[in-house]
Amino acid sequence: MRTFQPTLPPITKDVAIVGSGVAGALIGWKLAQTGASVAIIEAGTTIDRATGAAQYRAALTQTPDCAYDVQPYAPWPRVITKNDYYVQDGGPESDFQSTYLRAVGGTTWHWLGSMPRLLPSDFAMKSNYGVGIDWPITYADLEPWYMQGETQLGVSGFNEDDLGSWRSGPYPLPGIPMTYGDKEFAAACDPIGLKVSPTPQARNSQPNNGRPACCGNAMCIPICPIGAKYDATIHLGLAAEAGAIVMAEAVVVNVAVDASGAVSGVTYVKPDGTAGIVTAKVFIIAANAIETSKLLLMSTSDALPGGVANSSDQVGRNLADHPIRLSLAVSAKPMYPYRSPLATSGIENLRGGDFQSERSAYRIEIGNDGWSWMGLGPVGWAEQAIKNGDSGQAVWDTIYGTMPNQIRVGSLCEQLPDPSHRIVPSATEFDALGIPRPQLTFGIDDYTQKGLDAAIETHDKIFDALGVTKRQHLPQWQGAGHLMGTHRMGDDPKTSVTDSFGRTHDHPNLFLAGAGLFPTTGTANPTNTVAALALRTADHIAATLGSQST
């Protein structure tokens, strides 16, 4: 790995945060409000919403990341060419499939916006089912911060729905209505014991804090063109208003630890190769489960040959996702996709039970996006028709005759922690700045495979109830974009990296944030839990740091 000598003027703050996604933005905003001086350091560049939306609309291949350009100084894995950045050679059956974005605001730019909570039972998998491990906190411990997070992100939901996770208060915004297709699913599924429920979402159902209500652009992935869906630039802006600085295009490459065991500074590199250092009283790394672990493991020294915060040898281990079983079908009558957010409802009553002692649970997401996941949305379907020799009216007939009846369901399966599933900095492959690329080892164990197999049976029951005319279960599981588990929290420093507040066991002034903290994955999209944990961490840091400013 290339070494960098800081030559830029040093920056000194009370708090230095690496990463500007939802966790870093929330923590930065909350601590800046206390009067603490805060620097939020982001490897990627800023994004212009109008430019990104136009780039998506003009793209011939409309992938979840086509609205954004990769910067050579801060590369990230693209959906189609993920192994241009990842270093892995297990093949499609065992390669890690999920990706992310490095930019100001992080992957919240192209996330879906779904905000289910974990179930109370998800926090105690070992106690309840004899598998995995237990979290060092309970659902009840986190519930007040779930409420805070949902308020900050502006979650729309229906208070009368029981999604398996009790609530101490109402949603901040009314729910996003079910689509016509959702209602058709609900009518078909109810007689077979599957309850379709509206999904809580971080998008406005009505104007909220100066942002408009969702108007159904149907392009939530990769970009909400009007800002109705939450992204972390909202709290980055609020943090800046409170005095925080946001340092874009600053790639953190080293975490320095002094003789006392405290972190003394982080070194960052600019696109031109010049380097600087940020010193602080408290440091938070909130990059994501892969980038956070890579940074810690790169930061070796004579005193810490295994990297920072890694006395347990758990940094980078237990990499997890929610592998998705994806099924497509043609309905007997139109379902009218492409007129709403990409998913507004799901099936929540298969997410937990005694069967978890034998196989994974799953959460079923009902898609409003037809077959676009497989590149066969309107643009992709038209391209296919043209390749088949159609033109003019024939292309229109192909699209019009197919689009309204396209349906898809996806089951997000939990994974158990597996220390062999990991990320390490590559020893041989480097990016344009000379920084190691992430080398990944991944796979699907029998526990998760049984869940994926069970999902097919459930999908068939749903399709039978709907009376579809065609169906297809994709043989290859898909990535959910949910990077979890690589620096897990716990009470035992020998088996975990941080305590329940994200404070590392090894370094008293270093905190980690994000879904890498998760000891187990559950089945819920992780952002709601990430936000809750981040706000809990921020309150803990504020209580210990006080309001003294630099």
- Whether residue 548 is predicted with pLDDT greater than 60 in this model: the reply is no
Give the separation between CA 37 and CA 240, rounded to whole angstroms: 10
Active-site residue, 482 included: yes
Q: Work out the mean pLDDT of the chain and round it to a whole number.
A: 95
Q: What is the DSSP letter of 213?
A: P
- Whether residue 324 is predicted with pLDDT greater than 60 in this model: the reply is yes
Which tokens belong to 442? 């991944």
What's the mean pLDDT in 438-448?
Answer: 97
Round the CA-based radius of gyration of the chain to a whole number and report it: 23
Predicted pLDDT of residue 390: 81
- Whether residue 549 is predicted with pLDDT greater than 70 in this model: the reply is no
Q: Are strands 11-18 and 196-198 parallel, antiparallel or unpaired?
A: unpaired
Query: How many residues are there in the chain?
Result: 550
CB 375 within 8 A of CB 299: no
Name residue 366's beta-bridge partners.
Answer: 345, 409
Give the separation between CA 398 and CA 386, rounded to whole angstroms: 10
Q: How far is CA 396 from CA 219, 337, 383, 386, in A?
A: 21, 17, 11, 10
Q: CA 222, 65, 1, 439 torsion: positive or negative?
A: positive
Predicted pLDDT of residue 513: 98
- Whether residue 96 is predicted with pLDDT greater than 60 in this model: the reply is yes
Which tokens belong to 451? 């869940």
Could you tell me where the DSSP H helices lie in 130-199? 139-153, 180-189
- Whether residue 105 is predicted with pLDDT greater than 80 in this model: the reply is yes
Q: Which amino acid is at 527?
A: T
CB 521 within 8 A of CB 447: no
Question: Which pLDDT band, with edges at 50, 70 and 90, does 547 fall under?
Answer: very low
- Active-site pick, 322, 421, 482, 487: 482
| pLDDT tens digits for range 43-92 | 999 999 999 999 999 998 888 999 999 999 999 999 999 999 999 988 88
Burial of 240 (0-12, 13-18, 19+ CB in 10 A): middle
Which tokens belong to 443? 């796979």
For 203, list phi and psi in degrees, rounded to 5: -140, 150
CB 115 within 8 A of CB 202: yes
Burial of 545 (0-12, 13-18, 19+ CB in 10 A): middle
Give the separation between CA 323 and CA 456, rounded to whole angstroms: 13
Question: Which pLDDT band, with edges at 50, 70 and 90, does 212 fall under?
Answer: very high
Say which range, 66-80, 320-334, 379-393, has the weakest mean pLDDT: 379-393
Q: What is the DSSP letter of 191?
A: G
- Whether residue 338 is predicted with pLDDT greater than 60 in this model: the reply is yes
Task: Answer whether 0.85 is exceeded by the pTM.
Answer: yes
Which tokens belong to 461? 């029951």
Give the separation between CA 368 and CA 366, rounded to whole angstroms: 7
Domains identified in the chain and CATH numbers = 13-545 (3.50.50.60)
Buried/exposed code over 38-56 (b: 16+ C-beta within 10 A; e: otherwise): bbbbbbbbebebeebbebb
Q: What is the DSSP letter of 9?
A: P
CB 198 within 8 A of CB 182: yes
Say which range, 234-243, 322-331, 394-403, 531-540, has the weakest mean pLDDT: 394-403
Q: How far is CA 13 from CA 265, 283, 528, in A?
A: 10, 10, 29
Which tokens belong to 448? 């998760």
CB 106 within 8 A of CB 24: yes
Q: 269: helix, coil or strand?
A: strand
Could you tell me where the DSSP H helices lie in 251-338? 289-298
Q: Which residues contact 486 (CB under 8 A, 6 or more apart)?
A: 289, 290, 292, 293, 315, 316, 317, 318, 319, 422, 423, 516
